[in-house]
Structure 1
Amino acid sequence: MLTLSAIRDARERVDKVARHTPLERSRTFSEMTGADVHLKLENFQRTGAFKIRGATNRIATLSETDREAGVVTASAGNHAQGVALAAERAGVDATVVMPKFAPVSKVKATRGYGANVRLEGTDYDEAQAYAHELERELGLTYVHAFDDTAVMAGQGTLGLEIVDDCPDLDTVVVPIGGGGLISGVAVAIKEQLDDVRVVGVQAEGAASAPESLRTGERQEIDSVDTIADGIATRSVGEKPFAIMREYVDEVVVVDDREIALALTLLLERSKTLVEGAGAVALAAVLSEAFEYDDDETIVAALCGGNIDLNRLGTVIRRGLVQMGRYLKITINLKDRPGELERVSSIVARTGANVYAVHHDRTSRDVAVNAAELELELETDDAEHAAGIVEELEAEGYNVDILS
């Protein structure tokens, strides 16, 4: 079992490579929730995520024979970069297997740290299976992303930093993918502070932990589907699960809309960029996925900031929809001169800004003497968006809200 002593030993190794990341109180999110919300900004870590901690500790404990042979791992991106950099710093050859659909930015970054990257499988589990084939064929040491005590101890150094920087915390909220981070953090905190609550968070599209904890046995889901690709695993690890059963008080679930909203709010209000997995802890706080008291001191771990720029725009758009700041609608118009101008004048009267217009007279879904108008509008808030729809409907238009 993982111990506080092992985590403290890991800190001596991890501190040579990883940063002690900031922990800051957020006035914005404290006012929004009524709690005393602090953010552990692990998105400022080297490689952009906490994974460098566990990878550094695992590679530092290799035997000389294993160091000479090299290491192999599988990862959707953050662990890949952590292993690549830790191996490069230790002078160890690293092969990293990533899913074919891993974010391009993470693939390039991993290669940039000197690893030999192979793209195999559609998700983490298929990539991992191929990595184990290489382990057997080439005699490499497999560095597991989470199901490894040395890795868990390295991740636990984040918990030591939280205790150092916020000793009066009441609740710590931690994302769960395979469970390596929350198991290390939970041991590091609860072995020092008895009355602290540890809450884990999973994305709805990759939520195996709640049922696993309910039944007392690890459950594996058939597939994963979430914008939080950094925690998109089919099940938690065997070793982390044993720790979670003893040290984690509660596991909650947030959906992609809530994740997108948290990510967008962090970017707009805190000027902080995180990836989907990095936003889930705050999403759980903002959505009140678990109960907390006014003035309760909550630390939300923002575990990573490696979001693909191609995905960022889509996620922000979803967040704006949740905030009522973006409205996409369709209207069926009479196909006659002046109708488009009439709709435009109504929209202008409401104070909305037109982002995009699509006017289609040939759609099979409209009558021969009609046209379909699709509008994308920038709005102030949900109340403003609802007012636009009401104004159009008051003028006799049937409005379908697409998002």
Structure 2
Amino acid sequence: MTAGARFGAELQESGVTFRLWAPAAKRVEVMLDRAYPMQAGPNGWYEVMIPQAGAGTLYKYRIDEELEIPDPASHFQPQDVFGPSEVVDHNRFEWRTNEWRGRPWQDAAIVELHVGTFTPGGTFRAAIDKLDHLRETGLTAIELMPIADFAGRRNWGYDGVLLYAPDSAYGRPDDLRMLIDEAHARGLMVFLDVVYNHFGPEGNYLHRYAPAFFASAHTPWGHAIDYRVPQVRAFAIENALHWLKHYRFDGLRLDAVHALVETGQPSVLHDLSRAVGRLAAASGRLIHLVLENDDNRASLLDPLTDPPHGKYRAQWNDDYHHAWHRLLMGDASGYYQDYGPDPRRHLARVLASGFAYQGEPSPHRHDRTRGEASGSVSPLAFVNFLQNHDQIGNRPLGDR
């Protein structure tokens, strides 16, 4: 066992190797039919190989003989976040679209999709029935709002606590693979929204056995994550690769990276992009990484280099939406105040050179400067939209 050991349960021909990074624990056991002590290794790792375990095995970890927890890198939680984790065989699914290598970024016309509300059934399989409709409208890509396991059956997705596990409310792992396979069969790319700036509050036990996950700072949604810690950085990068390799997503949208308080050096964003770039090069796939970044950092964007090599294909362009909203609705509340009194001027700049704010003071941010010059960046780096989940579902008074 090394400091670079992978997170979670690893299915092998001879059984399952269970690993947990628990630097604050004195003793860790994996709970199957009984408690199996795990061997303590360097840098806070615990590991044990169980020959009789296999795909479908349910397990928990027990910390210091008192607290039973799911695997923080669980690949599936059939009984929700408080139940046992399940060992998953990612090689069992028979893909129909093995020749799929993706589509060029310039083809992307994206629909944002919440699995639970997209159909009456609210599942991965139910969404398949609407794929033909999406294709016929001229869309070329689906972006799933976050599906990482959350407490309960209904959630916006941004309070996930078990980041490797597709939520059981939507179906099993192979149901997600079937959705992606069917989308690819219709020429549709599938992206996933991932959240690396915080963990949801319910079902999160990391503070007890791995407090090094967290920085002293806070985000608006919870404790900030400390990516200066090598194991924490590896957890996020492995997670990105997990979705791209095991489920064949065509790309990721990284949520609110401006709220990554402790990114480390080099930034975790840089290292994640390079890791994904290596996967794309090795597999021959077109993989696209997109940011949400309120800071408008044009220096993070490079839509033309393929595969990614430390930067990101594009960014959601909030300025485009906000200027249109101010123009059409006259709304001057919150960040919309930044786009008056003449929203047309901001729209013209967005269309001509990317961002509306490229280093100017932002009244909403108490005149703190916002953004970097973006005029030299390809227009392909800007995902312009007229609505998304924030503006539809996160209105302060609950209106739609």
| TM-score (normalised: structure 1) | 0.32
- The one of the two structures with greater contact order (alpha-carbon pairs below 8 A, sep at least 6) is 1
User: Structure 2 length as normaliser, TM-score?
Assistant: 0.32
- Larger helix percent: 1
